[in-house]
Amino acid sequence: MVKKYFGTDGIRGTVGVFPITADFMLKIGWAAGTVFKQHSKGKKKRVLIGKDTRVSGYMFESSLEAGLIAAGIDVFMLGPMPTPAIAYLTRAFRASAGIVISASHNSFEDNGIKFFSSEGYKLPDTVEAEIEKLIDTPVVTNNASELGKAVRINDATGRYVEFCKASFPHGLNLSPYRVVVDCANGATYNAAPKVFKELGASVTSIAIEPNGFNINESCGSTCMENVCEKVKEEKADFGIAFDGDGDRVLFCDENGSVVDGDDLLYLIAKDYHLHARCDGVVGTVMTNAGIEFAFQDLGIPFYRSKVGDRHVIEMMKLKGCKFGGESSGHIVCSDLNTTGDGIISALQVVSAIVKSGKKLSSLVSEIKKIPQVMKNVKVPKSFVFDPKVMQAAVENSEKALGTMGRILVRPSGTEPVIRIMAEGRDKNIVRGEVDKLSELLKSYQ
Protein backbone atom coordinates (compact mmCIF):
# COMPACT_ATOMS: atom_id res chain seq x y z
CA MET A 1 0.00 0.00 0.00
CA VAL A 2 1.51 3.32 -1.12
CA LYS A 3 1.20 6.01 1.57
CA LYS A 4 1.36 9.74 1.04
CA TYR A 5 2.28 10.87 4.55
CA PHE A 6 2.90 7.87 6.80
CA GLY A 7 6.34 6.27 6.74
CA THR A 8 7.69 3.16 8.44
CA ASP A 9 7.16 4.67 11.91
CA GLY A 10 4.45 7.31 11.73
CA ILE A 11 5.10 10.72 10.18
CA ARG A 12 8.51 12.31 10.72
CA GLY A 13 10.58 15.16 9.35
CA THR A 14 12.16 18.55 9.94
CA VAL A 15 10.16 21.00 12.04
CA GLY A 16 8.69 23.78 9.91
CA VAL A 17 9.02 21.80 6.69
CA PHE A 18 5.80 20.24 5.42
CA PRO A 19 4.29 18.07 6.78
CA ILE A 20 5.87 18.78 10.18
CA THR A 21 4.04 22.06 10.62
CA ALA A 22 1.45 23.34 13.09
CA ASP A 23 -1.36 23.59 10.54
CA PHE A 24 -0.75 20.05 9.27
CA MET A 25 -0.78 18.69 12.84
CA LEU A 26 -4.16 20.30 13.42
CA LYS A 27 -5.39 18.72 10.19
CA ILE A 28 -4.12 15.26 11.06
CA GLY A 29 -5.53 15.58 14.59
CA TRP A 30 -8.95 16.24 13.10
CA ALA A 31 -8.60 13.50 10.47
CA ALA A 32 -7.37 10.91 12.97
CA GLY A 33 -10.03 11.92 15.49
CA THR A 34 -12.75 11.51 12.88
CA VAL A 35 -11.50 8.04 11.97
CA PHE A 36 -11.10 6.97 15.62
CA LYS A 37 -14.63 8.18 16.31
CA GLN A 38 -15.96 6.02 13.49
CA HIS A 39 -14.08 2.99 14.85
CA SER A 40 -15.15 3.56 18.48
CA LYS A 41 -18.83 2.74 18.27
CA GLY A 42 -20.29 2.29 21.72
CA LYS A 43 -17.02 3.27 23.42
CA LYS A 44 -15.89 6.44 25.14
CA LYS A 45 -14.21 8.53 22.46
CA ARG A 46 -10.91 9.58 24.00
CA VAL A 47 -7.34 9.85 22.76
CA LEU A 48 -4.13 10.16 24.78
CA ILE A 49 -1.32 12.51 23.74
CA GLY A 50 2.23 12.13 25.03
CA LYS A 51 5.48 13.65 23.82
CA ASP A 52 9.23 13.63 24.27
CA THR A 53 11.21 16.69 25.37
CA ARG A 54 11.68 18.59 22.07
CA VAL A 55 10.82 22.27 22.19
CA SER A 56 8.50 21.83 19.18
CA GLY A 57 6.41 19.35 21.15
CA TYR A 58 4.48 22.18 22.83
CA MET A 59 3.34 23.54 19.47
CA PHE A 60 2.35 20.19 18.01
CA GLU A 61 0.64 19.10 21.22
CA SER A 62 -1.65 22.15 21.03
CA SER A 63 -2.34 21.66 17.32
CA LEU A 64 -3.25 17.98 17.72
CA GLU A 65 -5.40 18.82 20.72
CA ALA A 66 -7.37 21.41 18.73
CA GLY A 67 -7.89 19.05 15.79
CA LEU A 68 -9.07 16.18 17.96
CA ILE A 69 -11.45 18.38 19.96
CA ALA A 70 -12.92 19.74 16.71
CA ALA A 71 -13.64 16.13 15.71
CA GLY A 72 -15.50 15.52 18.99
CA ILE A 73 -12.74 13.57 20.77
CA ASP A 74 -11.85 13.98 24.45
CA VAL A 75 -8.11 14.46 24.85
CA PHE A 76 -6.00 13.24 27.77
CA MET A 77 -2.70 15.16 27.92
CA LEU A 78 0.15 13.16 29.45
CA GLY A 79 3.10 15.51 28.96
CA PRO A 80 6.64 14.13 28.48
CA MET A 81 6.36 10.35 28.54
CA PRO A 82 8.24 7.45 26.90
CA THR A 83 6.62 6.10 23.74
CA PRO A 84 5.91 2.65 25.31
CA ALA A 85 4.19 4.39 28.23
CA ILE A 86 1.63 5.77 25.77
CA ALA A 87 1.00 2.26 24.44
CA TYR A 88 0.40 1.00 28.00
CA LEU A 89 -1.71 3.96 29.16
CA THR A 90 -3.86 3.82 26.02
CA ARG A 91 -4.93 0.35 27.10
CA ALA A 92 -5.19 1.30 30.79
CA PHE A 93 -7.49 4.24 30.05
CA ARG A 94 -9.55 2.22 27.54
CA ALA A 95 -8.83 4.98 25.03
CA SER A 96 -9.64 4.86 21.33
CA ALA A 97 -6.02 5.58 20.47
CA GLY A 98 -2.74 7.05 21.69
CA ILE A 99 -0.56 9.62 19.97
CA VAL A 100 3.15 10.18 20.57
CA ILE A 101 4.86 13.39 19.47
CA SER A 102 8.47 12.35 18.91
CA ALA A 103 11.25 11.84 16.39
CA SER A 104 12.77 9.11 18.54
CA HIS A 105 16.57 9.08 18.24
CA ASN A 106 16.76 12.08 15.85
CA SER A 107 18.01 15.51 16.96
CA PHE A 108 15.72 18.30 18.18
CA GLU A 109 15.35 19.87 14.70
CA ASP A 110 13.13 16.93 13.75
CA ASN A 111 9.80 15.82 15.13
CA GLY A 112 6.93 13.56 14.21
CA ILE A 113 3.92 11.65 15.41
CA LYS A 114 3.20 7.98 16.01
CA PHE A 115 -0.16 6.39 16.67
CA PHE A 116 -1.19 3.45 18.83
CA SER A 117 -4.49 1.63 18.47
CA SER A 118 -6.79 0.97 21.43
CA GLU A 119 -4.94 -2.35 21.88
CA GLY A 120 -1.57 -0.59 22.12
CA TYR A 121 -0.24 -1.62 18.69
CA LYS A 122 0.84 0.57 15.77
CA LEU A 123 -2.09 1.39 13.50
CA PRO A 124 -2.76 -1.05 10.65
CA ASP A 125 -2.20 0.19 7.10
CA THR A 126 -5.93 0.31 6.44
CA VAL A 127 -6.55 2.80 9.26
CA GLU A 128 -3.58 4.94 8.21
CA ALA A 129 -5.07 5.00 4.70
CA GLU A 130 -8.41 6.22 6.08
CA ILE A 131 -6.64 9.04 7.94
CA GLU A 132 -4.63 10.03 4.86
CA LYS A 133 -7.80 10.20 2.77
CA LEU A 134 -9.38 12.66 5.22
CA ILE A 135 -6.25 14.81 5.52
CA ASP A 136 -6.77 15.98 1.96
CA THR A 137 -10.33 17.17 2.69
CA PRO A 138 -11.47 20.37 4.48
CA VAL A 139 -11.70 20.33 8.30
CA VAL A 140 -15.30 20.17 9.52
CA THR A 141 -15.65 21.35 13.12
CA ASN A 142 -18.38 19.74 15.20
CA ASN A 143 -21.18 21.81 16.71
CA ALA A 144 -20.28 23.31 20.08
CA SER A 145 -22.42 20.74 21.87
CA GLU A 146 -20.42 17.92 20.26
CA LEU A 147 -16.87 19.17 20.78
CA GLY A 148 -14.39 17.18 22.82
CA LYS A 149 -12.74 18.29 26.06
CA ALA A 150 -9.13 18.26 27.24
CA VAL A 151 -7.87 16.90 30.56
CA ARG A 152 -4.29 16.79 31.84
CA ILE A 153 -3.32 13.53 33.58
CA ASN A 154 -0.93 14.48 36.39
CA ASP A 155 -0.07 11.00 37.67
CA ALA A 156 0.87 9.43 34.32
CA THR A 157 4.55 8.99 35.22
CA GLY A 158 3.72 7.29 38.50
CA ARG A 159 1.35 4.88 36.77
CA TYR A 160 4.02 3.94 34.24
CA VAL A 161 6.74 3.54 36.88
CA GLU A 162 4.60 1.03 38.74
CA PHE A 163 3.80 -0.78 35.49
CA CYS A 164 7.52 -1.14 34.76
CA LYS A 165 8.40 -2.29 38.28
CA ALA A 166 5.72 -4.97 38.08
CA SER A 167 7.69 -6.60 35.23
CA PHE A 168 10.66 -7.25 37.54
CA PRO A 169 10.59 -10.47 39.63
CA HIS A 170 9.30 -9.70 43.10
CA GLY A 171 11.94 -11.75 44.89
CA LEU A 172 14.92 -9.93 43.35
CA ASN A 173 16.64 -6.95 44.95
CA LEU A 174 18.97 -4.49 43.22
CA SER A 175 20.52 -3.10 46.40
CA PRO A 176 23.95 -4.71 45.72
CA TYR A 177 24.18 -3.04 42.29
CA ARG A 178 25.59 0.29 41.17
CA VAL A 179 23.97 1.44 37.93
CA VAL A 180 24.52 4.37 35.57
CA VAL A 181 21.38 5.44 33.69
CA ASP A 182 21.62 7.71 30.62
CA CYS A 183 18.24 9.18 29.70
CA ALA A 184 19.33 11.03 26.53
CA ASN A 185 17.75 14.25 27.89
CA GLY A 186 14.59 12.67 26.58
CA ALA A 187 11.30 11.16 27.60
CA THR A 188 12.70 8.72 30.21
CA TYR A 189 14.45 11.46 32.25
CA ASN A 190 11.85 11.26 35.01
CA ALA A 191 10.63 7.66 34.96
CA ALA A 192 13.81 5.59 34.41
CA PRO A 193 15.85 6.76 37.44
CA LYS A 194 12.78 6.30 39.67
CA VAL A 195 12.25 2.71 38.49
CA PHE A 196 15.79 1.57 39.28
CA LYS A 197 16.04 3.53 42.54
CA GLU A 198 12.74 2.16 43.81
CA LEU A 199 13.94 -1.38 43.03
CA GLY A 200 16.91 -0.76 45.34
CA ALA A 201 19.79 0.06 42.99
CA SER A 202 22.35 2.77 43.65
CA VAL A 203 21.74 4.97 40.60
CA THR A 204 23.88 7.62 38.96
CA SER A 205 21.76 9.42 36.37
CA ILE A 206 23.13 11.40 33.43
CA ALA A 207 21.46 13.37 30.61
CA ILE A 208 18.39 14.06 32.77
CA GLU A 209 18.19 17.83 32.22
CA PRO A 210 16.20 18.32 29.00
CA ASN A 211 15.94 21.90 27.76
CA GLY A 212 14.06 21.30 24.53
CA PHE A 213 17.21 21.31 22.40
CA ASN A 214 19.60 18.73 23.89
CA ILE A 215 17.60 15.54 23.32
CA ASN A 216 19.93 12.82 21.94
CA GLU A 217 22.77 15.38 21.80
CA SER A 218 26.00 13.44 22.50
CA CYS A 219 24.12 11.18 24.90
CA GLY A 220 21.78 8.21 25.07
CA SER A 221 21.83 5.00 23.10
CA THR A 222 23.03 6.71 19.91
CA CYS A 223 26.17 8.02 21.65
CA MET A 224 27.43 5.53 24.22
CA GLU A 225 30.74 7.20 25.09
CA ASN A 226 29.41 9.16 28.09
CA VAL A 227 27.66 6.27 29.81
CA CYS A 228 30.65 3.98 29.21
CA GLU A 229 33.05 6.50 30.77
CA LYS A 230 30.71 7.13 33.70
CA VAL A 231 30.47 3.40 34.43
CA LYS A 232 34.25 3.15 34.66
CA GLU A 233 34.48 6.34 36.73
CA GLU A 234 31.81 5.20 39.19
CA LYS A 235 33.02 1.59 39.18
CA ALA A 236 29.43 0.66 38.42
CA ASP A 237 28.19 -2.84 37.62
CA PHE A 238 26.72 -1.74 34.29
CA GLY A 239 25.28 1.21 32.41
CA ILE A 240 21.90 1.59 30.71
CA ALA A 241 21.26 4.08 27.90
CA PHE A 242 17.89 4.96 26.38
CA ASP A 243 17.08 6.90 23.24
CA GLY A 244 15.06 10.10 23.16
CA ASP A 245 11.61 8.53 23.30
CA GLY A 246 12.50 5.53 25.44
CA ASP A 247 11.63 2.65 23.11
CA ARG A 248 15.28 1.63 22.66
CA VAL A 249 17.93 0.60 25.17
CA LEU A 250 21.59 -0.40 25.06
CA PHE A 251 23.89 -1.46 27.91
CA CYS A 252 27.56 -1.23 28.67
CA ASP A 253 29.29 -3.74 30.95
CA GLU A 254 31.43 -3.02 33.99
CA ASN A 255 34.45 -2.46 31.73
CA GLY A 256 32.68 0.17 29.64
CA SER A 257 32.18 -2.09 26.62
CA VAL A 258 28.94 -1.61 24.66
CA VAL A 259 26.36 -4.41 24.74
CA ASP A 260 24.03 -3.99 21.75
CA GLY A 261 20.45 -5.00 21.08
CA ASP A 262 21.41 -8.37 19.59
CA ASP A 263 23.22 -9.28 22.81
CA LEU A 264 20.39 -8.03 24.99
CA LEU A 265 17.77 -9.99 23.05
CA TYR A 266 19.85 -13.13 23.49
CA LEU A 267 20.30 -12.58 27.25
CA ILE A 268 16.57 -11.99 27.79
CA ALA A 269 15.45 -15.00 25.73
CA LYS A 270 18.09 -17.30 27.20
CA ASP A 271 17.13 -16.39 30.77
CA TYR A 272 13.48 -17.01 29.99
CA HIS A 273 14.36 -20.33 28.34
CA LEU A 274 16.32 -21.46 31.39
CA HIS A 275 13.39 -20.82 33.73
CA ALA A 276 10.45 -21.64 31.45
CA ARG A 277 10.49 -22.30 27.72
CA CYS A 278 11.18 -19.97 24.81
CA ASP A 279 9.34 -21.10 21.69
CA GLY A 280 11.11 -18.72 19.34
CA VAL A 281 12.78 -15.35 18.86
CA VAL A 282 12.47 -12.81 16.06
CA GLY A 283 15.41 -10.73 14.87
CA THR A 284 15.80 -8.82 11.63
CA VAL A 285 17.85 -9.11 8.47
CA MET A 286 20.41 -6.93 10.30
CA THR A 287 20.82 -9.29 13.28
CA ASN A 288 24.34 -10.69 13.60
CA ALA A 289 24.54 -14.28 12.33
CA GLY A 290 26.39 -15.23 15.51
CA ILE A 291 23.21 -14.55 17.48
CA GLU A 292 21.29 -16.91 15.23
CA PHE A 293 23.90 -19.64 15.82
CA ALA A 294 23.75 -19.01 19.58
CA PHE A 295 19.99 -19.52 19.59
CA GLN A 296 20.42 -22.70 17.56
CA ASP A 297 22.79 -24.02 20.24
CA LEU A 298 20.06 -23.42 22.83
CA GLY A 299 17.44 -25.14 20.68
CA ILE A 300 15.48 -21.89 20.29
CA PRO A 301 13.96 -21.26 16.83
CA PHE A 302 15.11 -17.96 15.31
CA TYR A 303 13.28 -16.00 12.63
CA ARG A 304 14.23 -12.89 10.67
CA SER A 305 11.89 -10.07 9.68
CA LYS A 306 12.39 -6.89 7.73
CA VAL A 307 13.84 -3.96 9.69
CA GLY A 308 11.38 -2.01 11.85
CA ASP A 309 9.42 -2.77 15.01
CA ARG A 310 6.18 -3.13 13.03
CA HIS A 311 7.69 -5.97 10.99
CA VAL A 312 9.26 -7.58 14.07
CA ILE A 313 5.93 -7.60 15.88
CA GLU A 314 4.09 -8.97 12.84
CA MET A 315 6.58 -11.85 12.62
CA MET A 316 6.30 -12.46 16.38
CA LYS A 317 2.53 -12.83 16.04
CA LEU A 318 2.92 -15.07 12.99
CA LYS A 319 5.42 -17.40 14.68
CA GLY A 320 3.99 -17.23 18.19
CA CYS A 321 7.13 -15.67 19.74
CA LYS A 322 7.30 -13.71 22.99
CA PHE A 323 10.56 -11.94 22.17
CA GLY A 324 11.87 -9.98 19.22
CA GLY A 325 14.17 -7.08 18.57
CA GLU A 326 16.79 -5.19 16.63
CA SER A 327 20.49 -4.53 17.14
CA SER A 328 19.63 -0.85 17.73
CA GLY A 329 18.11 -1.87 21.07
CA HIS A 330 14.46 -1.86 20.06
CA ILE A 331 13.34 -4.99 21.95
CA VAL A 332 9.79 -6.29 22.31
CA CYS A 333 8.74 -8.52 25.20
CA SER A 334 5.17 -9.15 24.08
CA ASP A 335 3.97 -10.66 27.34
CA LEU A 336 4.89 -7.39 29.11
CA ASN A 337 4.08 -4.62 26.61
CA THR A 338 2.76 -4.36 23.07
CA THR A 339 5.69 -2.38 21.68
CA GLY A 340 9.41 -1.89 22.21
CA ASP A 341 9.91 -0.66 25.78
CA GLY A 342 13.40 0.45 26.80
CA ILE A 343 12.83 0.40 30.57
CA ILE A 344 11.00 -2.94 30.66
CA SER A 345 13.57 -4.54 28.34
CA ALA A 346 16.35 -3.21 30.57
CA LEU A 347 14.67 -4.72 33.62
CA GLN A 348 14.55 -8.14 31.95
CA VAL A 349 18.29 -7.92 31.20
CA VAL A 350 19.00 -6.86 34.79
CA SER A 351 16.85 -9.74 36.03
CA ALA A 352 19.01 -12.15 34.00
CA ILE A 353 22.19 -10.61 35.46
CA VAL A 354 20.94 -10.88 39.04
CA LYS A 355 19.71 -14.46 38.67
CA SER A 356 22.97 -15.57 37.05
CA GLY A 357 25.16 -14.07 39.76
CA LYS A 358 27.65 -13.16 37.00
CA LYS A 359 29.06 -9.94 35.64
CA LEU A 360 27.47 -8.64 32.45
CA SER A 361 30.77 -9.04 30.59
CA SER A 362 30.85 -12.72 31.54
CA LEU A 363 27.32 -13.29 30.24
CA VAL A 364 28.06 -11.54 26.95
CA SER A 365 31.33 -13.45 26.46
CA GLU A 366 29.26 -16.58 25.84
CA ILE A 367 28.06 -15.05 22.53
CA LYS A 368 30.40 -15.57 19.58
CA LYS A 369 29.52 -12.94 17.01
CA ILE A 370 30.67 -12.83 13.42
CA PRO A 371 32.58 -9.62 12.56
CA GLN A 372 30.03 -7.07 11.40
CA VAL A 373 30.44 -3.51 10.16
CA MET A 374 27.61 -1.01 9.75
CA LYS A 375 27.86 2.39 8.11
CA ASN A 376 25.36 5.16 7.41
CA VAL A 377 25.83 7.22 4.25
CA LYS A 378 23.99 10.55 4.33
CA VAL A 379 22.04 11.26 1.16
CA PRO A 380 19.63 13.95 -0.05
CA LYS A 381 15.93 13.06 0.20
CA SER A 382 15.67 12.89 -3.60
CA PHE A 383 18.60 10.46 -3.81
CA VAL A 384 18.44 7.64 -6.40
CA PHE A 385 21.05 5.19 -7.62
CA ASP A 386 21.29 2.58 -10.37
CA PRO A 387 20.06 -0.67 -8.75
CA LYS A 388 21.83 -2.86 -11.32
CA VAL A 389 25.20 -1.24 -10.62
CA MET A 390 24.67 -1.53 -6.87
CA GLN A 391 23.55 -5.16 -7.16
CA ALA A 392 26.68 -6.03 -9.09
CA ALA A 393 28.86 -4.24 -6.54
CA VAL A 394 27.17 -6.09 -3.65
CA GLU A 395 27.67 -9.44 -5.37
CA ASN A 396 31.37 -8.72 -5.90
CA SER A 397 31.76 -7.69 -2.26
CA GLU A 398 30.02 -10.84 -1.02
CA LYS A 399 32.43 -12.94 -3.07
CA ALA A 400 35.33 -11.12 -1.40
CA LEU A 401 33.84 -11.83 2.02
CA GLY A 402 33.71 -15.60 1.47
CA THR A 403 31.20 -18.25 2.49
CA MET A 404 30.13 -16.54 5.73
CA GLY A 405 29.80 -13.14 4.08
CA ARG A 406 26.61 -11.20 3.50
CA ILE A 407 25.80 -7.58 2.71
CA LEU A 408 22.65 -5.49 3.03
CA VAL A 409 22.20 -2.02 1.54
CA ARG A 410 18.94 -0.31 2.40
CA PRO A 411 17.47 3.18 2.91
CA SER A 412 16.58 4.15 6.46
CA GLY A 413 12.91 4.61 7.17
CA THR A 414 13.56 7.37 9.72
CA GLU A 415 16.61 9.33 8.48
CA PRO A 416 17.98 10.54 5.12
CA VAL A 417 20.70 7.88 5.06
CA ILE A 418 21.52 4.65 3.26
CA ARG A 419 22.56 1.92 5.71
CA ILE A 420 25.25 -0.57 4.72
CA MET A 421 25.72 -3.73 6.78
CA ALA A 422 28.30 -6.42 6.05
CA GLU A 423 29.42 -9.59 7.83
CA GLY A 424 32.34 -11.92 7.24
CA ARG A 425 35.12 -13.84 8.94
CA ASP A 426 37.79 -11.14 8.50
CA LYS A 427 36.80 -7.75 9.93
CA ASN A 428 39.40 -5.86 7.90
CA ILE A 429 38.03 -7.26 4.65
CA VAL A 430 34.47 -6.53 5.83
CA ARG A 431 35.36 -2.93 6.61
CA GLY A 432 37.09 -2.53 3.25
CA GLU A 433 34.06 -3.76 1.31
CA VAL A 434 31.75 -1.46 3.26
CA ASP A 435 34.01 1.49 2.43
CA LYS A 436 33.90 0.56 -1.27
CA LEU A 437 30.11 0.49 -1.30
CA SER A 438 30.00 3.75 0.65
CA GLU A 439 32.18 5.46 -1.94
CA LEU A 440 29.98 4.08 -4.73
CA LEU A 441 26.88 5.61 -3.09
CA LYS A 442 28.63 8.94 -2.63
CA SER A 443 29.57 8.99 -6.33
CA TYR A 444 25.87 9.30 -7.20
CA GLN A 445 25.48 12.56 -5.24
pLDDT for residue 218 is more than 70: yes
In this prediction, residue 57 has a pLDDT band, given cuts at 50, 70 and 90, of very high
Q: Are 125 and 114 in contact (CB under 8 A)?
A: no
- Strand 372-378 relative to strand 417-423: parallel, antiparallel, unpaired? antiparallel
Do 160-364 and 11-154 have the same topology in CATH? yes
Q: What is the mean pLDDT of residues 134-154?
A: 95
Share of residues in the chain with pLDDT > 70 (%): 99
> Does an H or E element contain 47, and which?
strand 46-51
The pLDDT score that the predictor gives to residue 2 is 74
Closest C-alpha to 240, from 378, 344, 376: 344
pTM score, two decimals? 0.93
Task: Enter the CATH code of domain 372-442.
Answer: 3.30.310.50
d(CA 305, CA 324): 10
Percentage with pLDDT > 90 across the chain: 87
- Per-residue pLDDT for 351 more than 70? yes
Class of domain 11-154 (CATH, top level):
alpha beta
Residues 6+ apart with CB under 8 A from 365: none
Q: Which residues contact 271 (CB under 8 A, 6 or more apart)?
A: 348, 351, 352, 355, 356
Q: Which CATH superfamily is domain 160-364 in?
A: Alpha-D-Glucose-1,6-Bisphosphate, subunit A, domain 3 (3.40.120.10)
Other CB atoms closer than 10 Å to residue 382's CB: what's the count?
6
Mean pLDDT over the full length of the chain: 94
Per-domain residue ranges for the chain? 11-154, 160-364, 372-442
Pairwise pLDDT comparison (366 vs 387), residue with the higher score: 366
* Local confidence band at 244 (pLDDT 50, 70, 90 cut-offs): very high
Q: What is the pLDDT of residue 42?
A: 59
Nearest to 93 by CA among 41, 136, 156, 35: 156
Which residue has better confidence, 403 or 263? Answer: 263
Residues designated as active site:
104
User: Which of 45-59, 168-182, 381-395 is the least confident region?
Assistant: 381-395
User: What are the φ/ψ torsions at residue 339 (nearest 5 degrees)?
Assistant: -145, 175
